[in-house]
Amino acid sequence: MSSCPFCDIAANYPPSTSFESDHERVSPPAFVVLSTPLCMAFLDIMPLSPGHLLVTTRKHHGKISDVTEEEARELGAWLPRLSRVLANVTGVWDWNIVQNNGAAAAQVVPHVHFHIIPRPSLTPELRNKSFTMFGRGQRSERDDSEAAALARSLREELAGEMERIPNREKL
């Protein structure tokens, strides 16, 4: 087992176009939505909101300045696609994309990654919940059964999204 949890996920979820996932391959469970030769996306273990998704490189890099040009292009291509997929599945059309570099910048896992964080409307129940970022904010424990269902819905929507993209734009 690697000391990097994202590297563990990458080692246990090889690149696949089937968009299927067995979340029990690692501990704690990983709910993988995307697994390509260069990038991965999976649900955050301590989400700021339902659907909080992490997009990362398969290969270990500490910071965004360490990724290759090819990895950077692929990350850039997946972020808008996954944002659309997440919005379609959650029904939340406002979100943040955040990327932290280094401990002083609130990077908790030292493996480059982007957060796609849905921002639901502030209902009376949510008014007291903090949605701040950069290492601060109220995070909640992920419910594994809800995460499994959400990840399955995200994979299904992603498969549909990929069919809608002309061949010349697919990675």
Distance CA 101, CA 120 (A): 26
Show Cβ contacts of residue 13 under 8 Å, excluding neighbours closer than 6 positions.
Answer: 21, 25, 30, 32, 35, 40
Phi-psi region of 99 (alpha: psi -120 to 50; beta: other; left: phi over 0): beta
Q: Name the residue with tokens 């109220």.
A: 138
- The answer to whether residue 113 is catalytic is yes
Catalytic residue, candidates 52, 111, 113, 115:
113
User: Residue 167 has which token pair?
Assistant: 């061949």
Residue 113's H or E segment, with its range, is strand 113-118
- C-alpha distances (whole Å) from 26 to each of 5, 6, 20, 23, 131 are 9, 10, 15, 7, 29
User: Catalytic positions, please?
Assistant: 113
